[in-house]
Amino acid sequence: MKIKNDTATDTKAKAERLAKLQRKIDQALSKKTPGVETTFSEAYELIEMAMKQGLSQKDVIALVNDTYDLKLHAASFRKLLKDERSALGADGKSALCPTCRHPLALQPQAGPEATANDITANEKMVA
């Protein structure tokens, strides 16, 4: 009889420890701030729309940094932008305007790294 009682006590103690751990994990997750990638992904459509409407990349970076309390610089912003565009392109989706839901066209890459094929591909994406 004593063995069964000890087993029941051990099982109850384990369950209590697991429940306590679950509460602590839930509490830690609720306090956790989203990562830069998650934040950027959430704001991506607005970022693309602002840049398409002529707002400079420098101004967009400043607004994103101010709004989300980040410290993005131009290189990391370009990397996040490229990654988000690639992810959307891989899924076959394009960014949509949050207001009217029209597809936002990707701007052609200007500069030495842009090729005729890149520009042609980007021109085909213009809605």
pLDDT of 1 > 80? The answer is no
DSSP 92: T
Q: For residue 37, what pLDDT is reported?
A: 87
Could you tell me which residues come within 8 angstroms of residue 73 by beta carbon, excluding any fewer than 6 positions away? 61
Q: For residue 127, what pLDDT is reported?
A: 43
- Residue 9 identity: T
Domain boundaries, the chain: 1-32, 36-125
- Residue 126 identity: V
The model's pLDDT over 57-98, given as tens digits with 9 standing for 90+, comes to: 999 999 999 998 889 899 999 999 998 888 877 655 666 666
Q: For residue 109, what pLDDT is reported?
A: 47
Query: What is the Cα–Cα distance from 68 to 30, expressed in whole angstroms?
Result: 17
